[in-house]
Structure formats: structure tokens, C-alpha cells
Structure 1
């Protein structure tokens, strides 16, 4: 499907651009969005995570729940992010202890192990970055999810407008 990505109804309302939707369309969209939101009642870290990873999982999950952008459906995505982040940190520490160039008998040569680990580090970085973006863990991804506040009404509606108007 071509075109712009569909925005949540709250974002459209917050921008003040909901006048192209009828009340029935807005109600339908709201029901659809609530139906796909997902529950947050059974969020449990997967068993394949270590104790330290589980602690990190619950810390991040609680923050995402506060932002109302996390549900039971996102558990595996967060677990994969934490797992790849853990591996990334291990590789970075290992790379810091290595030298990129070997010197033996006065001859300099490229350390092949260092080069392979550098490629692995880049793969893990991209994996972490993608997962973080999907989960709203980066500032740019959260800015896309922020729901703007609606402007206050310009005037107070009259009694007639309250009874018969579209206010």
C-alpha cells in the first residue's frame, strides 16, 4: 500500500487534523486501535535470558509500559534486543583487549581475528539499533510515537452548541 503510514487517532486529534473524519470513522478507528494494542498483564521475561538480562528486561519493560507502547506481544522483541546487546558488549570488551595489527619479527600484519570480531560487532550493532527502533528505545523512534496535546478550544461553546452542535 503506497502513501503515508497510518497515524494513530490520538496523533491526528492532537495535530488538530481530525476534521476529515466523521464521528463514526473516529469511533471505528479507536476500536481498532484498542483491539490491536495488546495486554500488559502477563509480561514475563523469557527463560533463555540470564538473571542479569531478566533484570534489564523488567527495567526496560516497565519504562515502555509507562509510555503505553509495550504489551505482551513485544516480549520476544525486547528479549532479542537485550540478548544482542549483551553479545555486542562482550565483543566490544574483547576488541578493546586486542590489537588490530600484529607485529612479529618487525613485520606488521593485519590481525585476522580482530577484523572478524569487528564485522561481528557491526552486525550486532545494526541488530540492536533495529530492535531498539522498533521498541521505541531511541529518541527518534519515541518522537514518532509522541502524541501531541490538543490545542484548547478557541471559545467556550454556547448552550445551544453544547446541545446541538458538534462540540
Structure 2
């Protein structure tokens, strides 16, 4: 199975694959940047969820990884995150903890919400491991100038 296609900036930063200038230009032109205009919370979110949506969207836009097409995915994450918080508070209720059946039911609900929240967070780059896959590393700076740069005819 082939590896997932990587952005040209990532390939250049890694420095492991040698591409011609034409190949780099072709790859750069074929990559689609995210559409960042019109990112807004969907109507089905309540006011608290919309506020959370805007906060997370702002962070993702700062990382340059969120586009307009990601709005519904982020909205689903915000909804599930709120459900997780409700399930967590339910499990802390002394009345629920006193009844074994209610405790098991609340624990299962919390577990389902956690799994959904974690999956959505991973898709959006909100976990450490998923963000490491998304962030393009910076190319290391050359410490000393290349002695062959004077023969370069492009500059």
C-alpha cells in the first residue's frame, strides 16, 4: 500500500527526496490550500457550543490547518465534547454512584463519548499525535554558506 501523499513543504523540509524545480512547482500548484473565508458555526449549535466552536476554529486557523470544509467536523467535535462533560458530571453524582446499575450505565455513556471525542479530536489535529502528523517541520538553517552558490544562475 502506498504512503499518503505529503505536502511539498514537508518534503522540502525533510530534505530526503530530490525533486527538480519543475516538479516542485507542479506539486505546489496542484496542492489545494484550505478555504478560510466564511468559517462560521453551524445553526444547530447552541450559544455555548458556538462560543467553543469559534475558540477552537481560531486556534486551528492560526495553525493554518482549518478550512471552511472542516466546519461540520469541528461542530461534531464540540457537540460530543459537551456530551462528554455532561456524562462526566453525571458519573460524579452521589446518587448515581450509590446505584450500581446507574454507575455502569453512566460509565458506558462516558466511555462512548470519550471515544467519539478522541476520534473527532484526532481528525481535527487537536491531539498531540495528530498535530505532529500535520505540522510541517522547519528546514534546518545552513550553518556555513555553500561554496558552490556562486555558480548558481537562478539568483
| TM-score computed with the length of structure 2 as normaliser | 0.89
Q: Distance in 1 between matches of 2:127 and 2:112?
A: 18
Which shows bigger deviation, 143-152 or 42-51?
143-152
Q: Distance in 2 between matches of 1:123 and 1:32?
A: 39
Q: Radius of gyration: which is bigger?
A: 1
Q: Which residue of 1 aligns with 2:132?
A: 143
Candidates 39, 42, 47, aligned match of 2:35:
39
Contact 1:16 1:151 in 2 (8 A): no
CA offset digits 1:19-76 (Å, max 9, x no partner)? 1x2222222221222x2x2211100101111111111100110110010000001000
Do structure 1's residue 155 and structure 2's residue 145 form an aligned pair? yes
Q: Which residue of 1 aligns with 2:20?
A: 22
Do structure 1's residue 72 and structure 2's residue 77 form an aligned pair? no
Q: Which residue of 2 aligns with 1:105?
A: none
Q: Name the Cα RMSD after superposition.
A: 1.7
Q: Which runs of 4+ in 1 moved over 3 A?
A: 98-102
Q: Structure 2 unaligned segments of length 5 or more: list them.
A: none
Instruction: Give the number of aligned pairs.
Output: 151
Q: Which residue of 1 aligns with 2:109?
A: 120
Q: Which residue of 2 aligns with 1:12?
A: 11
Q: Structure 1 unaligned segments of length 5 or more: list them.
A: 103-110
